[in-house]
A and B are shown apart, each in its own frame.
Chain A
Amino acid sequence: MSIINLTIDNKKVSIEKGQTILDAAKKVNVRIPTLCHHEDLCVAGNCRVCVVEVEGSKTLSASCAVPAEDGMVVKTNTPKVRNARKDIVALLVSEHNTQCTTCYRSMNCELQALSAEYNIDNNRYLSVLKPNIEIDRSSWSIEKDDSKCVRCQRCVRTCAELQHVNALTVSGKGKDMKISTFMDLPLNEAICTNCGQCVIHCPTGALTERRYFDRVWEAIGNEKKHVVINTAPSVRVAIGEMLGYPVGSRVTGKMVTSLKRLGVDSVLDTDFSADLTIVEEGYELLQRLRKALVENDTSIKLPMITSCSPGWVKFIEHIFPEHLGHLSTCKSPQQMFGALSKTYYAEKKGIDPKDIVSISIMPCAAKKFEANRPEMNDSGYRDIDAGLTTRELGHMINQAGLNFAELEDSEFDSIMGESTGAGAIFGATGGVMEAALRTAYELVTGRDVPFDNLNILPVRGMEGIKEAAIKLENCLPDWSFLEGVELKVAVAHGLINARKIMDQVAAGKSPYHFIEVMACPGGCIGGGGQPIPTNDEIRKKRAEAIYEEDMNMPVRKSHKNPEIIKIYKEFLKEPLGEVSHRLLHTSYKKRNHY
């Protein structure tokens, strides 16, 4: 690796060859404004906001796209640069729907920030905003408002590079160039997984989640309704970012208090249903292994693959419809919670389930779609009435006028509020696998999983595909057929990695027994419903916070959750039993691939 030297604003910089001028500038704390640039994505060089002057060049250079060269002399703040930048931002504004006062992304919009920074005069240019742009609200998960699009193509690159879904494309050219779906179809007809990664990579309000908080306020305000909320594990380590806390802050107690202050009747924990998922899924895996290894049942699909990520589920339904048998039949924690909230919870609390409004707070855009899947009504009602994102909750807390930082901590309500560290780590990539192994290994051997402090490090971290193997030895009599088996597992996050894993499965060459897949990079902590911005550094900090949550829990194995033990005793009777099958398991649908 060769090192080159250059000068940026009279400061000397040494940097590895191949890095861009922008990278070099960061090294000496020179901030160059950007818009189309995103750490997660490949270089585009489209918006031209980051232009700088390079000595000897007649034109300006897009610092995000031009490699730094040895001996280069760069100036980032000359009149020529400032004039061009200001003009470029003014042009973007002239193409933009500037009704910021009514925009969901107001105060968290990169164009708005640039426009303020460069003090843009909206009258410098005529408006070239296309008239009569209709907002696409066809999808349960994502809204697309082209009037706010700056054509940076971050969404297109996200959909291609992180997810390999390519639901979004650039269409037309010149003045008619825009971001569209196939044939400009409404989003609900596109081959879209609803993962929402486009939303968290959009610099403006062009792509947002569909908001359901008004529905929640409505329910809270209705005295006849009993509102229960479940909050996903990764929400508590991210919501703080919307409320003035540094990235990676754990604000679980304040979050619970704030929800109570909003007027929610019962604040419960998705971690509880995550624990339940682990027990059901763990038994499902063992059952599959028994059928495949002992009974030689060839209809049993292995590897079994997790099904808690609804973006992933829709992905496999579209892209690998012939391989749905590999998916665990377990519903996601959200949907298990929903079905139980209107059966078990209703019964225990003596509330008519028709009066229960079951809400989930999720790091996710796809959860909205999942909640609205027609089959998700096993309780006899809509199991989940609305799925909100972390961001929506942040807005609700602000709307309620709460001073979040001043709130005391409080505990989740009961029942279905108790959880374990295993449920908590669901929020990070590898977490489901780790939780499942903690439980499955113990079920089979009666011993703790053989990792220090139960921390299964090989499945943690941000590598796209991770694998691990655990040898099952000295098994309990019930599981003697697994004696000596080396349980092979893999973890993939980001759909581009999921596709690689699935290509192997489809080719019949997957060496694994069990695979965890999360649609979003980093898992739920990097979900499409999380605070914006989200990038690698932020994902890492949120993941660290998740693992701290785990370490701080008294119980760190799902099957040891007292409320889980109780629900099996009182209601479900046994894992994979009749009640479980009715309420906690589901089936999948083949969808169009192209």
Chain B
Amino acid sequence: MGYKGLKKVDIIFDCANCEPLEVLKKALAMTPDQIIEQIISSGLRGRGGAGFPTGLKWKLAKAEKSDVKYVICNADEGEPGTFKDREILDVVPSKVLVGMAICAYAIGAKEGFVYLRNEYNFLLKDLNPLIEKFNKNIQNLGLDFTIKMFSGSGAYICGEESALFESMEGKRGEPRNKPPYPTKIGYNGKPTVINNVETLVYCTMIIRIGVEPFKKLGTSDSRGSKVFSISGDTTKAGIYELELGIGVDEFVKEFGNGDTKAVQIGGASGFCVPRKDFKNKIIGFEGVPTGGSMMIFNSSRSMYNVLKDYLEFFAEESCGQCTPCRVGTQQLLKGIEAIKRGEKPSSYLNQLLKLTETMKVASKCGLGQSVQNSFSSIVNNFREEMIY
């Protein structure tokens, strides 16, 4: 494990010497394969949370023979504690659009969409004219690609890529069975690359600054840096771009306010790291992965309330189609309430922990599969708080 000290980075929001269209020109001077090769060798993995290698995704989509392909920017940010995509779209939207255009060029797509969560509709008044202008600009550069906005209608699960396609197709945002994966059958049944907002900006910046400056950051499994959304018991709440692979203790030293009891990394579907583990956990795909949500909790906070909050969230935001997730989330919530009220013995927690294992292996999509992350890490580390 490549433990790192905390290092602040300035790639995503850096606008010095970065005229986005110039980056696009640079990309268009390369061949699609060269671009994909660069993204692959950068080691960039998706920044939405799941961490799929971005270059490989592009390569798979490029290999599909289809007249119609799509590039979709997943801006349906909804993980509790995450707000970095909003900030990126607010501050450096052009870099996102360029990332989409580069991808379109690389895989051979003519149409792209930004799927923006409804809660961020206030961004539209700036984004819409920007996209209009951008579309003209890229046409002028000779790239046959058009970007459109698609506004979400309020459903966390639509951040799941196949649910997002369903939603764009005018249906309930219910995740699809996989395989097939989006690079083969995505939006409208066509090969689709769907990338997170932040991922697309890194693509832009890898083309801009080259592979090496990016690659030298982070660890072998978690190359580069990442934008973190920091909230909770901290005096420094906000957006920070940090190198990946940093130790949780370094993180807490920088952002905690001296009384940190736990850090929830990755939101409701992420992991809770208690104080005793700060020293031996790193933030990255080989340690504790995160889409960016970092919530800091002080000693005074009830971890029962934190868990209950997450479970309420899941029980509402599960799409409801598959049994483990729809019923499992309700059972977990009702279960911890019953234990707290003394209606179920504390040993019932073990039953619930087993249930999360079932949810993990048998749920249809990542939502149900990841409930175990927060549940077991909170219950196992703060068992007394659950009971008394």
A interface residue numbers (CB < 8 A to B): 43-49, 51, 58-60, 62, 65-67, 80, 83-84, 87-88, 91-92, 94-95, 124-126, 128, 150-151, 153, 170, 172-177
A59-B369, A91-B324, A124-B351 as given contacts; A174 in contact with B331, CB under 8 Å: no
7 interchain residue pairs of minimum CB distance: A177-B320, A91-B327, A87-B358, A65-B177, A174-B318, A45-B177, A128-B330
Closest A residue to B368 by CB, please name it: A48
Q: Report the contact-size class of chain B (Cβ under 8 Å from the partner).
A: 35 or more
Q: Is the CB–CB distance between A125 and B360 below 8 Å?
A: no
Residue of A nearest to B157 (CB): A173
| Shortest Cβ distance from B367 into A: residue | A174
Instruction: Check B326 against A175 for contact (C-beta < 8 Å).
Output: yes
Contacting residues, chain B, for A124 (C-beta < 8 A): 351
**Main secondary structure on chain A at its contact with chain B?**
loop
Which B residues lie within 8 Å of A174 (CB)?
A: 314-320, 326, 329
Whole-angstrom distance between the Cβ of B27 and the nearest chain A Cβ: 35
Q: Are A87 and B354 in contact (CB under 8 A)?
A: yes
Q: Judging by beta carbons under 8 Å apart, are B331 and A125 in contact?
A: yes
Q: Are A47 and B323 in contact (CB under 8 A)?
A: yes
Smallest CB–CB gap between B165 and chain A, Å? 16
B364: interface (CB < 8 Å): yes
Closest to A177 in B: B320
Contact in complex: B324, A173 (CB < 8 Å): no
Partner of B319, one of A47, A67, A128, A173: A173
8 sample A-B contacts, Cβ–Cβ < 8 Å, listed by A number: A44-B321, A46-B321, A51-B361, A83-B354, A91-B324, A95-B327, A128-B330, A174-B326
Contact between chains at B362 and A60 (CB < 8 Å) = yes
- B268 nearest CB across to chain A (Å): 13
Alpha-carbon separation in the docked complex, A125 to B324 (Å) = 13
Cα distance A49–B358 in the bound complex, in angstroms: 11
Task: List chain B positions with a Cβ less than 8 A from chain A.
Answer: 155, 157, 172, 177, 179, 314-324, 326-331, 334-335, 338, 344, 351, 354-355, 357-358, 360-364, 369
Chain B positions within 8 Å of A60 at CB level:
361-362
B323:A88 contact, CB within 8 angstroms:
yes
Would you call B369 and A48 a contact (CB within 8 A)?
no
Partner of A51, one of B177, B317, B321, B362: B362
Q: Is the CB of B361 within 8 A of A59?
A: yes
Q: Known A48-B324, A126-B334; judge A173-B358 contact (CB<8 A).
A: no
Given A62-B364, A170-B172, 16 more contacts at CB 8 Å? Answer: A44-B321, A83-B357, A84-B324, A84-B358, A87-B355, A87-B358, A91-B331, A95-B326, A126-B338, A128-B331, A151-B320, A151-B326, A175-B316, A175-B318, A175-B326, A176-B320
Q: How far is the CA of A94 from the CA of B358 in the complex (A)?
A: 15
A174 to B314, CA, bound (A): 8
A67 touches which one: B179, B334, B344 (CB < 8 A)? B179
* Residue contact B364 to A175, C-beta cutoff 8 Å: no
Partner of A88 from B319, B320, B354, B358 at Cβ < 8 Å: B358
Q: How far is the CB of A80 from chain B (nearest CB, A)?
A: 7
Q: A67 to B322, alpha carbons, bound, how many Å?
A: 19
A173 lies within 8 A of B172 (CB): yes
